[in-house]
Amino acid sequence: MTGLQQLVLLALQASVFCIVFGFGLKTTAQDLVSLLRRPLWLAKALVAVFVLMPLVVILLSRLFDLRPIVEIALMALAISPVPPLLPQRHSQAGGAAHHALALVANFSLSAIVTVPLALEILEHVFARPLSMTPAAVTRIVFISSLLPLTAGMFVRAALPRLEPAIEKAVTLIARVLFPAAVLALIAFTAPAMWALIGSGTIAATVIFVVAGLAIGHVMGGPDAGDSRALALATAYRHPALAASIAAANFPGERFGAAIVLYLLVGLIVGLPYLAWQRRLTQRAAAESGSTART
């Protein structure tokens, strides 16, 4: 990896840290533990994310003649927790960020157990030696999700007067760094992504995202906020952890292009769902306002 590529990855990590830190500035401890008061729903969510999606990838590997690097990347994504930027995507769909933040926190902690366990099971399914230590998983989810989230919450509680100024500063940094780093990352991986096109790669990736949205939406239940949050959590996964899982088990391969391709496909495929949910949210708000006036 060149020095410029390392700089791009560092900028991307810093921007994600700032974004999640900003979420933490608006989050309370009650927000994060809210799902613990709903153990049945949380159990259904864990099944959707960590059980059903790996089964989807196994099915895709049977339906398509996928390149090994794509198959491994999809499976690594299927057993990874939700991404730290889930609250941002959830807000774009018209939902409350604290709902998604609770999922990020709970699923990140769950991944410390579920990822090594899933790898043990998949080792028997694919007849390949697979492993990743809980310590390695903990390090990634802590740095990318839990540390910036708890740091933001601490600043909110300890320095309430400075919170607006700090939020403005980190938001500005993230708005500049994040898109620039993403565009640079796409430019670096474009040739390798192009080489992956074919053999059902795009179709399998599209099905993965659509299946995640559908499974999560249905298993989320009748509440619109629940179904929206779980749909996004099931379809979109932690790219850094997925890349680390894949690289730890297949060190001779480079999975960055496959992960970035998934992110691009997921961004495009998810747009209709986000627009649909935003319209539903706006309609519900309008109806609520109309009822309140009468």
Taking the chain, what is the end-to-end CA distance rounded to the nearest angstrom?
63
Residues counted in the chain: 294
- Position 126 in a domain: yes
Residue 254 counted as domain residue: yes
Tally of structural domains, the chain? 1
Residue 19 has pLDDT above 70, yes or no: yes
Q: Which of helix, strand or coil describes residue 131? A: coil
pLDDT tens digits along 95-105: 666 778 788 88
The parent domain of residue 266 ranges over: 3-282
Q: Are the CB atoms for 177 and 14 separated by under 8 Å?
A: yes
> DSSP of 153-219, one letter per residue?
HHHHHH-TTTHHHHHHHHHHHHHHHHHHHHHHHHHHHHHHHHHH-STTHHHHHHHHHHHHHHHHHHH
Q: For residue 202, is pLDDT > 90?
A: yes
| Tokens (6 digits) for 139 | 């390090």
Residue 283 — φ and ψ, nearest 5°? -65, -45
289 part of a folded domain: no
The pLDDT assigned to 130 comes to 67
Q: Quick check: 209 and 235 in contact, CB under 8 A?
A: yes
Q: How confident is the model at residue 236 (pLDDT cuts 50, 70, 90)?
A: very high
229 located within any domain = yes
Tokens in use for 112? 């410390």
Query: pLDDT higher for 2 or 109?
Result: 109
| CATH number of the domain that residue 199 is part of | 1.20.1530.20
Q: Say if 100 falls within a structural domain.
A: yes
What would the pLDDT profile of 261-273 be if each residue is shown by its tens digit? 999 999 999 999 9
- Judge residue 52's burial from the number of C-beta atoms within 10 Å of its C-beta, 0-12 exposed, 13-18 middle, 19 or more buried: middle
SS3 252: coil
Main-chain phi, psi angles of 99, to 5 degrees = -60, -45
Query: What own/partner pairs with CB < 8 Å and gap ≥ 24 does 170-178 have?
Result: 170/18, 170/19, 170/21, 170/22, 170/25, 171/18, 171/22, 173/14, 173/15, 173/18, 174/15, 174/18, 174/19, 174/22, 177/11, 177/12, 177/14, 177/15, 177/18, 178/12, 178/15, 178/16, 178/19
pLDDT tens for residues 25-67?
A: 888 888 777 888 889 999 999 999 999 999 999 899 899 988 8
Which of 195, 175, 183 has its CA nearest to residue 264? 183
Q: Are 81 and 241 in contact (CB under 8 A)?
A: yes
DSSP for 218-235 reads: HHT-S-HHHHHHHHHHHH
Q: Supply the pLDDT for residue 232.
A: 92
Nearest Cα to Cα of residue 203 among 264, 270, 265, 267? 265
pLDDT at position 293 is: 59
Residue 216 within any structural domain of the chain? yes
Q: What predicted TM-score, i.e. pTM, was given to this entire model?
A: 0.86
Question: Does some domain include residue 79?
Answer: yes
| Predicted pLDDT of residue 217 | 95
173-185 core/surface letters (b: 16 or more CB in 10 A; e: else):
bbeebbeebbebb
Instruction: Tell me whether residue 40 is in a domain.
Output: yes
Cβ-contact 235, 205 below 8 angstroms? no
